[in-house]
Each structure stands twice: as structure tokens, then as C-alpha cells.
Amino acid sequence: MNLPSELAQIAAAFDQPLVFATVSGAHLYGFPSPDSDYDLRGCHVLPVDDFLGLRDPDETEESLGPESGLDLDFVSHDVRKFCRMLLQRNGYVLEQLLSPLVVATSPEHAELRSMVPSLVTRNHAHHYLGFARNQWKSFERAPRIKTLLYVYRVLLTGIHLMRTGEVEASLPNLLTDYPQAGVAELIAAKKERTEKQPLDAASVERHAAAYDRLVRKLEQARDDSRLPLATEAFDELNAFVIRVRLRT
């Protein structure tokens, strides 16, 4: 997809060197509404001096609201914090790192991306199962298409990750390999701004059955996966953070 040029201008004006900035959220997941904001996610490098004194540096910068004519949510973490998150079972940071919607990049971005196969573990399934359960509870309280799309997206991303070791965050792409009845219509409704229309009882029941089925599939994919239980990339990431920090 074509990204607004303003995003690159916003990234270029960031006050610290960026390892990368990519688009996440609904645009990455393949179901943005015409008025969806842009979820810009990044990794930056604070100067060495920020870590030498008594004060802990603020390792996350966030701005929310209109900027350069765009409705924007921009979050960037310092490289140390970002790499620590990569060592956890955090699917979000993997998706941000590998997002094909690239606004700013660097050789360090490419180096981090090359490490992903050694970072993916069987325990990442817990991230996707947990997020899906939370979204499903929200859907039960207020049945909305947007929430339902997030449920399908995270479960299918998790299943695909456990089976292949590959991160795929786009729901339309996932539906090619894992077709789900009625989901393409949900995406169309979201894109056409009719996402708040109520779902009838029969539709809710059908999606509830699909949710239960996909949860079981993800649990089974986790149990059958050949992915390791834990990453062994700590030393590699530690050396990466030191090397990148000393370059600034």
C-alpha cells in the first residue's frame, strides 16, 4: 500500500537516530477504515551519555494526535528496551520489526530482522492466545466488527507462527492459507465504515464457534511446534545494542 509522504517527514524529524519506523495497527493488519489513524512504531538510539549518570533515561517516546495533517499514534523505544522486548514472548515487537510498511530503515534494521529466526519461540503462542481472549471478552460485552477482526487476526497470526516460524500480520494474507467463513465480509464492512452495525445472534454464535475452534488450533499448533521453548539470542542482541550505541 502507498503510505502518506508525511510519515517519512515525521520520522525524519524525530529527535534521535532511528533504527527503523514502520506502520503497525489496522493498516498492517489489512483492515483500515477510511478514518483509521496511523500507528507508527519505531526503535531509536539514545546517546551513551544518557546511561552514564544517576538518572534512568526515558526509553520510550510517544506522541498521540494530529501531526502534519495525519491522525497519528507514534511510539518509539530505545534500542536497549526494544531488544529486551524481543527477548520476551512479545509478538507485537516482532510484527513491528518485520512490518512491510516501512517508513524509515537502516542497516541496523536489516541486521535486527536477520535475527528473527533465532528469536521466535513456542512461547509466543501465549501472547496471541492471551490477546485473543481479551479481545473476545470485549466482543462479548459489545459485539463489534473491529473487535472480532482483531480476534481472527491474532489467532491466525499465532497459528501461522507456530506452524511455520514466520510472522504474518495481514489478515487478508492469512485468509489465503486459512479461510474463515464470513471474515472477508467483515473486512469489507470495516473498510466501508459500517463496522458498528450490530451483528445478529446467529452471526455471533457462528463466530463464537470459530473462536473456540481457532483457540484449540493454536494450542495444538503450539504443542506440535518444532520451535524452541526459549531464545538463545541474548548474547547476540547484547552485542548488537553495545555496537549500535557506540556508533551514536
- Predicted structure pTM score: 0.95
d(CA 42, CA 231): 22
Residues lower than pLDDT 70 in the chain: 194-197
The residues pairing with 63 across neighbouring beta strands, listed in sequence order, are 74
Pairing of strands 102-104, 70-78: unpaired
- Can you spell out the DSSP letters for 1-33? -PPPHHHHHHHHT-SS-EEEEEEEHHHHHT---
Query: Vertex 38, ends 36 and 42: CA angle to 5°?
Result: 155
| 5-114 placed in CATH 3.50.50.60 | no
| pLDDT value, residue 52 | 93
Q: What is the pLDDT of residue 200?
A: 85
Kindly state the cell numbers that stand for 102. 516501512
pLDDT at 130: 98
pLDDT value of position 132: 98
Domain boundaries, the chain: 5-114, 124-224
